[in-house]
Amino acid sequence: MWRTWCNIKILHAKNVWNTASRKISTKYIEINEEVKNALKQHNPVVALESTIITHGMPYPNNLQCAMEVETIVREMGAIPATIAILGGKVKVGLTDDEKYQLVKDMREVETIKTSRRDFGYVISHKLNGGTTVAGTLIVANKLGIPVFATGGIGGVHREGEHTFDISADLTELGKSSVAVISSGVKSILDIPKTLEYLETQGVFVATFGENKAFPAFYCRNSGYEVPYNVQSAKEAADIIRCHLELGLHSGLLFAVPVPEEFAMKEDEMNAVIEKAMKSAKKAGISGKEITPYLLANISHLTKGSSLKTNMALIKNNARVAADIAVHLAQLQQ
Ligand code: PSU
Ligand code: MN
């Protein structure tokens, strides 16, 4: 029973019209051998998103960060599985060449920030796509990869009660049997509303570290607490195991504060964020463009130091995620 959530669920093309199926047609997905073998043998795998690469960071930091994150996952004893769409195919476990291609193609080919709603379009038009947290969760969930590392997840935007801008990351977390390791959410978002939304969606939320202070991505403390604090990878793995074995079909969020030496000052950051948000409003930016716009603007306003923090926290999250994946795999053997 315990083993079933890790089976690779792939459907052959003839069954593709079975709309009740959770499976992806083999026509549309390519899993690299290393990841396939690790999944078969219940070895630790960490899923990684690719919107960070395509829309979250400038070149060459995006590529450098993606490579370093994978190295860290390997050093910790897990297999990295960066997920993206290349030429209309979902690739699980991008090779370095494929990561380079994804970035290089952006100069000539339309590259879509891909959440749930975008997959059919991207694949039918044989485009490239950077999968968001939501998009990556869909693939990880279908393949039974229970651990996924990223920087920050999307959330309820400030003034979301008027704009209805609520990231699909939250609804996807509500229906994916996957644990996401992130540094919480940025204060470009409404943090208390995001936490409320996660509760409604049945997502387990805990901090991973010293206390229950929910981190705000660039800063270690958002000023809001969450109900749970987890202190070790073993404890996290035990919780994930129970959550999955109970068949709850909702996700888990472990929020890891950025390491102290890379953390940014809260007052300073709040002022920068206010400024970036004003400029977004003035430029009429909305919808899926808002997060990439703000990220680039914040990096510009902080003269690149927010980008440094961003890269440091992703790497730290990858380390924690791999540690959790290793402990989870031990529970399965
Ligand atoms: N936060 C970051 N960097 C990012 C993102 C979020 O610090 O690149 C990306 C993630 O892929 C996330 C997506 O899933 O933005 C959320 O976008 P939206 O708010 O449009 O749902
Ligand atoms: Mn949005």
ipTM reported for the complex, 2 dp: 0.98
With cut-offs at 50, 70 and 90, classify the pLDDT of residue 332. confident
- Across 248-264, average pLDDT: 97
Q: Model confidence over 243-254: pLDDT tens digits?
A: 999 999 999 999
pLDDT of residue 236: 98
For 20-29, what is the mean pLDDT?
Answer: 79
What pLDDT shows up at residue 13?
46
Please tell me the pTM assigned to this model: 0.94
Tokens 């009660």: give the residue: 161
Q: Residue 205's beta-bridge partner residues?
A: 253
Q: Report, as an integer, the average pLDDT of 314-318.
A: 98
CA atoms lying within 13 Å on the CB side of residue 12: 1
pLDDT of 26 reads 87
Kindly list the protein residues whose Cβ atom lies closer than 6 A to any atom of ligand 1: 49, 51-52, 55-56, 132-134, 151-154, 167-169, 186, 288, 291, 295
- Of the candidates 137, 164, 167, 141, the residue with the CA atom closest to the CA atom of residue 154: 167
- Of the candidates 43, 225, 230, 246, the one whose C-alpha atom is nearest the C-alpha of residue 147 is 43
**Per-residue confidence band for 2, with pLDDT thresholds at 50, 70 and 90:** very low
Nearest C-alpha to atom 20 of ligand 1 is from which residue? 288
CA angle (116 as vertex; 114, 122 as ends), nearest 5: 45
**Ligand 1 center to 185 CA (angstroms):** 9
- Per residue in 182-223, pLDDT tens? 999 988 899 999 999 999 999 999 999 999 999 999 999 999
Per-residue model confidence as pLDDT tens digits over 43-81 = 999 999 999 999 999 999 999 999 999 999 999 999 999
| Residues facing residue 48 across a β-bridge | 82, 149
Helices (H), the chain: 33-40, 51, 61-75, 96-105, 119-124, 133-143, 160-163, 168-173, 191-200, 233-245, 266-282, 290-301, 305-332
